Amino acid sequence: MITIDGVVGVGKSTLMNIMVEEMGYTPFQEPVVNNPILDRFYYDRERYSFPLQVFFLNERFKHIKNASKIEKAVLDRSIYGDVIFAKMLNDAGEMSNEEFGIYKDLFANMIEHCQAPALMIYLEASTEEAVRRITNRGRSYELDTEIAYWERLNKEYRQYFEEYEASPVLKINVDNLDFENNPEDKEYVLSLIREEIARLKLDDENK
């Protein structure tokens, strides 16, 4: 089970689809398409922050449970990075302390029943590059979001993955990579992933 994480717009879904096509993984997509709350959240964060985070937490819990039963699964974001968004909302006063407390308790209960991924792929990008990709993607609720939000999010992501210890991490800076359209960049990223998987298997054999 491999998880791909990183800030909004960094290329998680694209890399997941490449791994499905090139490496035979089974995909678990981020629950944004049939999400009944996401659009409304971006226009009224204080009202919808808690139900949105609980929705994501529940969906990611289901994903990681199902993915752990499959030999080769790849997840577009996971339950581990989800807490970043809840913390940010609480810090900004858009999720109350009481709601954040409930969220953390629920998260702690769920994480006890989650199998950690064999590998966490963290796609790192500058805020400028992430915003450029978000603009190109063109989702209206993302385009209306202030730059300061994306700056805070990127800062929280970098800090979170400096301290993350639940599984091995492969960090890939994608500022100058276009693995969606450039075959050389795609093969470069795939080679990094294959090498890390091979190294982890060797480590397991030596234990």
Catalytically active residues, by annotation: 76
28 bridge partner residues: 75
Q: Which amino acid is at 151?
A: E
The continuous run of DSSP H or E covering 38 comes out as helix 38-43
Dihedral class, residue 77 (left if φ above 0, else alpha if ψ from -120 to 50, else beta): left
Question: Does 13 count as an annotated binding residue?
Answer: yes
Question: Does 127 count as an annotated binding residue?
Answer: no
Exposure string of 20-33, with b = 16+ CB inside 10 Å and e = fewer, is eeeeebeebebbee
Question: Does 184 count as an annotated binding residue?
Answer: no
- Rounded Cα gap, residues 202 and 83, in angstroms: 32
Question: Does 14 count as an annotated binding residue?
Answer: yes
Question: Does 189 count as an annotated binding residue?
Answer: no
Question: Does 53 count as an annotated binding residue?
Answer: yes
- Rounded Cα gap, residues 121 and 3, in angstroms: 6
Question: Does 131 count as an annotated binding residue?
Answer: no
Question: Does 133 count as an annotated binding residue?
Answer: yes
Annotation: binding site:
6-14, 30, 42, 53, 77, 82, 133-137, 142, 177-179
Annotation: binding site for ATP:
6-14, 133-137, 177-179
